[in-house]
C-alpha cells in the first residue's frame, strides 16, 4: 500500500508541540554528545527543579571529543517522558486519561497498515559500506549516558524488533544497545524477566540460525511508549500502539531482514544477532541507579541502516531516579497493576497503585491504597497479587489507607509507624528473583516483604486544627502578608472513626471560650477507682 501521512505525531511534530507549549529547550550551540549532553540534562533531575518545571531538550549542533560533527541530525532527551505531562502530550491525551488509554489500547489493539514506501527509508546504507568508519552506527550522534563510567555510546531509546520463528508474531522491546563498531552493536535482553527478544533468541539458537532484528530510533512517541510496557508474550506491541493512536500504525518492511518497522521512525538499524557467541557488553549506568558491570550479551552484525535525510533520534535519561526512564515506566505500569488487582483478581477495595520513584526506581516499593472497611483478608490478597504479578516488581509491598498519600514517603512511614504492628502485619515470602539491580556475589534469591499498614480499627482524629479553623487562619495569614504558603497534606485534622459527639461538643464549647464548662463537666465525674491513663469514655455533660 502507498504511504499516507500517519494521523499521529512523529517525533518532530511532537517536539513542535512541546515547543509551542514552552516545554522544550532547543540548544543550538555545539554540545559534545559524549561528555556534555547527558550531564547537562541530568542537572534538571538533580538540581532541585520541581517536576512541573522540567522540560524536554533538543540538541541541534552535536559534536564529539574526536572532532566529529553530525550535520542534519538532532538528539532529543526528555522528549518522551521528561515529565508525566510530556508523556501525556506524546499520547495526545490528558494526563488523567493515561491509565485508561493504556487499558483500552491493550483490550482493543489495532493491526498495523503495511506500506511500500516510508520516510524511514529515504537514505539506505547496505552491505560492506557499513563497516567503513563514519558510515555505520558511528555516523549517528548517539550519546554517552554516564561519562566517566560508560565505555561507549548507547542506544537508550531504541525499540528492538524481532519475530517469533514459530508464530511469526513480532515483539518490540526497549533494550539498551552498546555501540561496538560501525557495523556491530551489543544488546542486553534480560534473561531473568524473559524479555520478548531473549525468548526469541533462544528459539533461533535452537534452530541454529542467527536472529534477525531491527533497532528503531526516533519512532513516533506513542509507538516508543509500548517498548517498555509490560505486555504479555506474543502480544505484538505495534497493535497496542495502534490502540493508543486510535488508528493503524504504518509499518514498512526492512531492507535486509524479514521484519516490519514503524514507517515514521527516523532511523532503523537492521541486523542479525549471533546465536552461537555472546559478546562482553557494558559497563553502563543502569536505571536501578548503579553501574551495570561488564557482562556477556547478544551481538548484532549490522546489515543495513535506513533513515530520513534529516533526522531526530531520542535518547532517554536513565540511571539514578527520578529520570525519564522512571517516568516512562511509572505512568505505564501503575494502571496495569491497578487493573490486575481490581479487575483480574477482583479485589474491589484497591483504589490506587503507586510505585516509589526517587532513588529506589519503581520496582522495589509498591504502595497499594485500600478503601476503608475492606476485609483484612482482601488486603493480604492484594499484597500477594501485587508482589507476584511480574518477576522484578514488588520487593516491598505496603498496603495503606486512602488518607495516606502514596506519593509522599513521609506519609507511608507515618502509616507504618502507627497503623502497623510488625509482628502481626508483616509477612516475608522467600524465593523472589533478584530482579533489576546490581549483580552481587552470593545468594541467587531475594525475598518479598508484605506490610499491612492500614488501620486495623477506628483511630482518633489526626491532631491538627479542624479545617474551618485552618481556613480562617489562612485568610489571616494572607492579610498579614506572611510568606507564600505551599500547603502540605495533612494541613487540617480529620476523623478516623474514634471520636464522639460529646467530645465534639466539648471542643466546640472550648472554641467559643467556655472551657470552664468542660472543667465543671469533668469535676462531676471524678473517680476513686480509676487508674492513671484509664480511658474516660462515655462521660456526659449533664449541666442544665
Ligand X SMILES: Cc1cc2nc3c(=O)[nH]c(=O)nc-3n(C[C@H](O)[C@H](O)[C@H](O)COP(=O)(O)O)c2cc1C
Q: Which of 145, 146, 156, 315 touches ligand X (CB under 6 A)?
A: 156
Between 143 and 228, name the residue whose CB sits nearer to ligand X: 228
Q: x-or-dash pattern for ligand X, window 320-359, by CB under 6 A?
A: -----x--xx------------------------------
SS3 state of residue 361:
coil
Q: Is 78 in the site for ligand X (CB under 6 A)?
A: no
Between 40 and 194, name the residue whose CB sits nearer to ligand X: 194
| Closest approach of ligand X to the CB of residue 329, in Å | 5
Q: Is 161 in the site for ligand X (CB under 6 A)?
A: no
Q: Determine the Cα–Cα distance for residues 329 and 81; give it in Å rounded to an integer.
A: 9
Q: Determine the Cα–Cα distance for residues 175 and 199; give it in Å rounded to an integer.
A: 14
Segment 417 to 456, residues that bind ligand X, using CB under 6 A: none
Stretch of residues binding ligand X (CB under 6 A), selected from 118-126, 182-190, 260-268, 413-421: 182-190
Stretch of residues binding ligand X (CB under 6 A), selected from 1-9, 226-234, 394-402, 469-477: 226-234
| Closest approach of ligand X to the CB of residue 81, in Å | 8
Between 288 and 419, name the residue whose CB sits nearer to ligand X: 288
* Residues 6 or more apart whose Cβ sits within 8 Å of residue 417: none
Q: Is 319 in the site for ligand X (CB under 6 A)?
A: no
Between 186 and 374, name the residue whose CB sits nearer to ligand X: 186
Between 174 and 370, name the residue whose CB sits nearer to ligand X: 174
| Closest approach of ligand X to the CB of residue 269, in Å | 15
| Closest approach of ligand X to the CB of residue 470, in Å | 41
| Closest approach of ligand X to the CB of residue 459, in Å | 40
Q: Is 174 in the site for ligand X (CB under 6 A)?
A: yes
Between 228 and 435, name the residue whose CB sits nearer to ligand X: 228
Q: Is 318 in the site for ligand X (CB under 6 A)?
A: yes
Nearest to 454 by CA among 341, 366, 369, 342: 369
Q: Which of 176, 288, 330, 356 touches ligand X (CB under 6 A)?
A: 176
DSSP H or E run through 291? strand 291-292
Segment 271 to 290, residues that bind ligand X, using CB under 6 A: 287
| Closest approach of ligand X to the CB of residue 200, in Å | 9
Q: Determine the Cα–Cα distance for residues 203 and 209; give it in Å rounded to an integer.
A: 9
| Closest approach of ligand X to the CB of residue 122, in Å | 27
| Closest approach of ligand X to the CB of residue 238, in Å | 11
Phi/psi for 189 (5° steps) reads -110, 115
Stretch of residues binding ligand X (CB under 6 A), selected from 195-203, 258-266, 426-434, 534-542: 195-203
State the residue for C-alpha cell 486512602. Answer: 402
State the residue for C-alpha cell 485568610. Answer: 475
Q: Which of 171, 314, 321, 354 touches ligand X (CB under 6 A)?
A: 171
Q: Is 228 in the site for ligand X (CB under 6 A)?
A: yes
Between 187 and 374, name the residue whose CB sits nearer to ligand X: 187
| Residues paired with 280 in a beta bridge | 296
Between 121 and 229, name the residue whose CB sits nearer to ligand X: 229
Nearest to 245 by CA among 82, 84, 7, 5: 7
CB 391 within 8 A of CB 192: yes
CB 179 within 8 A of CB 137: yes
Q: What cell numbers appear for 204 in the block?
A: 533461533
Do strands 311-315 and 73-77 pair parallel, antiparallel, or not at all (unpaired)?
A: parallel
Q: Determine the Cα–Cα distance for residues 102 and 292; give it in Å rounded to an integer.
A: 30
- Virtual CA dihedral for 101, 174, 287, 57, nearest 10 degrees? -80
* Residues 6 or more apart whose Cβ sits within 8 Å of residue 329: 228, 355, 362
Distance of CA 257 to the CA centre of its chain: 32
CB 229 within 8 A of CB 80: no
Q: Which of 51, 95, 190, 295 touches ligand X (CB under 6 A)?
A: 190
Q: What cell numbers appear for 35 in the block?
A: 561528555
| Closest approach of ligand X to the CB of residue 225, in Å | 10
Q: Please work out, in degrees rounded to the nearest 5, the angle formed at the alpha carbon of residue 416 by the alpha carbons of 411 and 418.
A: 95
Nearest to 168 by CA among 195, 144, 132, 203: 203
| Closest approach of ligand X to the CB of residue 173, in Å | 3
Between 240 and 451, name the residue whose CB sits nearer to ligand X: 240
Q: Is 197 in the site for ligand X (CB under 6 A)?
A: yes
Q: Determine the Cα–Cα distance for residues 108 and 235; give it in Å rounded to an integer.
A: 12
Radius of gyration (Cα) for the chain, nearest Å?
Answer: 28
Q: Under the rule (CB under 6 A), what is the footprint of ligand X?
A: 156, 171, 173-176, 188-190, 193, 195-197, 227-230, 287, 316, 318, 325, 328-329
Amino acid at each position: 500500500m502507498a504511504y499516507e501521512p500517519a494521523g499521529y505525531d512523529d517525533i518532530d511534530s511532537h517536539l513542535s508541540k512541546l515547543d509551542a507549549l514552552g516545554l522544550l529547550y532547543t540548544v543550538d550551540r555545539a554540545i559534545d554528545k559524549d561528555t556534555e549532553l547527558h550531564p547537562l540534562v541530568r542537572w534538571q533531575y538533580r538540581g532541585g527543579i520541581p517536576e512541573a518545571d522540567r522540560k524536554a531538550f533538543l540538541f541541534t549542533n552535536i559534536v564529539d571529543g574526536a572532532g566529529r560533527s553530525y550535520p542534519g541530525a538532532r538528539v532529543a532527551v526528555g522528549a518522551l517522558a521528561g515529565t508525566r505531562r510530556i508523556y501525556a502530550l506524546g499520547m495526545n491525551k490528558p494526563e488523567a486519561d493515561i491509565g485508561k488509554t493504556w487499558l483500552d489500547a491493550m483490550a482493543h489493539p489495532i493491526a498495523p497498515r503495511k506500506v511500500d514506501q516510508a520516510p524511514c527509508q529515504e537514505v539506505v546504507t547496505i552491505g560492506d559500506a557499513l563497516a567503513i568508519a563514519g558510515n555505520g552506527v558511528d555516523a549517528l550522534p548517539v550519546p554517552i549516558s554516564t561519562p566517566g563510567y560508560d565505555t561507549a555510546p548507547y542506544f537508550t531509546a531504541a525499540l528492538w524488533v524481532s519475530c517469533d520463528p514459530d508464530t511469526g508474531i513480532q515483539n518490540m522491546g526497549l533494550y539498551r544497545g552498546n555501540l561496538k563498531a560501525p557495523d556491530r552493536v551489543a544488546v542486553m535482553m534480560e534473561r531473568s524477566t524473559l524479555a520478548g527478544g531473549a525468548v526469541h533468541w533462544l528459539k533461533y539458537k535452537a534452530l541454529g540460525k542467527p536472529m534477525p532484528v531491527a533497532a528503531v530510533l526516533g519512532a513516533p512517541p506513542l509507538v516508543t511508549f509500548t517498548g517498555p510496557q509490560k505486555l504479555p508474550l506474543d502480544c505484538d506491541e505495534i497493535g497496542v500502539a495502534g490502540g493508543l493512536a486510535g488508528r493503524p500504525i504504518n509499518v514498512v518492511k526492512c531492507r535486509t531482514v524479514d521484519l516490519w518497522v514503524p514507517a515514521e521512525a527516523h532511523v532503523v538499524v537492521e541486523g542479525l544477532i549471533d546465536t552461537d557467541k555472546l559478546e562482553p557488553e557494558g559497563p553502563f549506568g543502569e536505571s536501578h541507579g548503579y553501574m551495570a558491570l561488564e557482562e556477556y550479551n547478544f551481538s548484532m552484525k549490522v546489515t543495513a541502516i535506513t533513515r530520513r535525510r534529516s533526522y531526530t533520534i531520542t535518547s532517554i535519561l536513565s540511571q539514578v531516579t527520578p529520570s525519564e526512564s522512571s517516568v516512562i515506566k511509572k505512568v505505564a505500569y501503575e494502571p496495569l497493576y491497578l487493573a490486575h488487582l481490581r479487575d483480574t483478581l477482583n479485589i474491589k477495595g484497591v483504589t490506587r497503585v503507586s510505585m516509589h520513584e526517587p532513588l529506589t526506581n519503581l520496582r522495589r516499593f509498591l504502595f497499594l491504597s485500600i478503601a476503608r472497611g475492606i476485609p483484612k483478608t482482601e488486603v493480604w490478597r492484594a499484597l500477594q497479587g501485587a508482589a507476584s504479578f511480574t518477576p522484578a516488581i514488588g520487593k516491598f509491598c505496603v498496603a495503606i489507607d486512602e488518607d495516606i498519600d502514596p506519593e509522599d514517603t513521609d506519609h507511608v512511614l507515618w502509616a507504618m509507624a502507627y497503623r502497623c504492628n510488625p509482628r502481626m502485619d508483616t509477612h516475608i515470602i522467600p524465593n523472589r528473583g533478584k530482579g533489576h539491580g546490581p549483580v552481587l556475589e552470593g545468594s541467587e534469591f531475594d525475598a518479598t516483604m508484605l506490610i499491612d499498614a492500614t488501620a486495623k480499627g477506628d483511630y482518633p482524629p489526626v491532631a491538627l486544627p479542624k479545617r474551618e479553623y485552618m481556613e480562617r487562619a489562612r485568610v489571616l495569614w494572607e492579610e498579614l502578608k506572611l510568606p507564600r504558603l505551599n500547603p502540605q497534606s495533612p494541613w487540617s485534622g480529620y476523623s478516623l472513626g474514634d471520636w464522639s459527639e460529646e467530645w465534639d461538643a466539648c471542643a466546640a464549647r472550648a472554641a467559643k471560650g467556655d472551657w470552664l464548662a468542660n472543667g465543671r463537666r469533668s469535676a462531676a465525674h471524678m473517680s476513686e477507682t480509676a487508674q492513671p491513663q484509664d480511658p474516660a469514655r462515655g462521660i456526659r455533660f449533664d449541666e442544665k
